[in-house]
Structure 1
């Protein structure tokens, strides 16, 4: 029975159907929530510095495709090769976002999960003028920023743009990253954090310092985003 369920979940027709439905639902959520931006001139600040690396927490990713508002905002997003990633990849592509498949994990499974190839592809995408979006968390360790995104900024020379998005209406799952399912007909907030640049000659101590700074600014942006929609932040995070 488990094998049958696994085969059904891996079937292309189901993945395309779920991905397409997800994209449609997310459009509804975006169009029916009234969003504020903090700072209000966030696009005027960010656009001159593109292409950039957009960083956010895992589990808060569903509405991120909608920060792309103009044709000049060419973007690709890193999505895992895991089965669940197929649904996310199809939804992202339906919403006009390119995908890079692989893991952001820089641990023992990095090469096995396609991390090396994905890292090189992200560097190439930035060189070609694409913004690259990815979660900052260490896999399976929610709200702990990893060094992978810092390494990408050092290698590419592009700035990291941390941000958080929240809506007043949502469901929060009880999984490892406390995934937030944003719901329609409410209010939303997009909050930008401190822009982080990594010197090309950054040593291990500097990299760790910037990793901790990224973690702190993402937590602060998340706290502010929830405050702006009058909702409490996640337990243990603000």
Structure 2
């Protein structure tokens, strides 16, 4: 019964909660121009993931996006929540199934699908930057786009990622960076460059 609630009922409750919270907030989007026929790698910190489906689909309402999600049981819940938003899953992470996930992610980009990755997930530390994002970008040639959000009123959980959940009846600013091309940068230079960009426009 416990597993039934966790994996069958909880994802729908979370989906409804997220929609309610964003319906009751004023939303302001700070978005660049993106080519409709180009696939991108969208990145966001783990503690800010709840905001990103709305952020992404506001800019690309007809977009196809798949996100890398860990093979853990918690990852199964996230997979089901994201599927309700219309987001596909690539199962794997830096700690488990990494090679298979990396290959699958590059194939998705080559087929024209956007991909979404959290560089500090699934275990952190918070705002650490696993190198998989850079490897995928340099092997696929895809540009990186950073997603972030800043609510005026929010709960911040005492978890490793300091997970942020907006409170109702405030304002949420959604940010999307210009596409970042790291194909001609050295690996460490590219990682530091993107990480520093990701530290802008976040809840501290």
TM-score, with normalisation over the residues of structure 2?
A: 0.90
Deviations 1:43-84 (A, max 9, x none): xx1234631000111110012111214553111111111111
Match of 1:226 in 2: none
Deviations 1:145-176 (A, max 9, x none): 22110001011111000121122222111111
CA apart distance, 1:36: 1.3
1:141 match: secondary structure: coil
Matching residue within 102, 106, 115 for 1:119: 102
CA apart distance, 1:184: 2.5
1:68–1:75 contact (8 Å) kept in structure 2? no
Q: Does 2:38 match 1:50?
A: yes
Match of 2:192 in 1: 212
Q: Does 2:174 match 1:190?
A: yes
CA apart distance, 1:194: 4.8
Using the alignment, how far apart are the partners of 1:143 and 1:130 within structure 2?
A: 26
Match of 2:128 in 1: 144
Cα RMSD for the two superposed structures:
1.9
CA apart distance, 1:119: 1.0
Which segments of structure 1 move beyond 6 Å, counting only runs of 4 or more?
Answer: none
Using the alignment, how far apart are the partners of 1:64 and 1:71 within structure 2?
A: 13
1:119 match: secondary structure: helix
Deviations 1:23-50 (A, max 9, x none): 11111122222111225xx2xx123463
Using the alignment, how far apart are the partners of 2:14 and 2:136 within structure 1?
A: 29
2:28–2:174 contact (8 Å) kept in structure 1? yes
2:49 match: secondary structure: coil
Using the alignment, how far apart are the partners of 1:133 and 1:187 within structure 2?
A: 24
Q: Does 2:54 match 1:61?
A: no
Structure index of larger Rg? 1
Listed as ranges, the matches of 1:87-126 within 5 Å are 87-103=77-93, 105=94, 109=95, 113-126=96-109
Using the alignment, how far apart are the partners of 2:126 and 2:6 within structure 1?
A: 28
Using the alignment, how far apart are the partners of 1:116 and 1:62 within structure 2?
A: 26
Which consecutive residues of structure 2, in runs of 5 or more, have no partner in the other structure? none
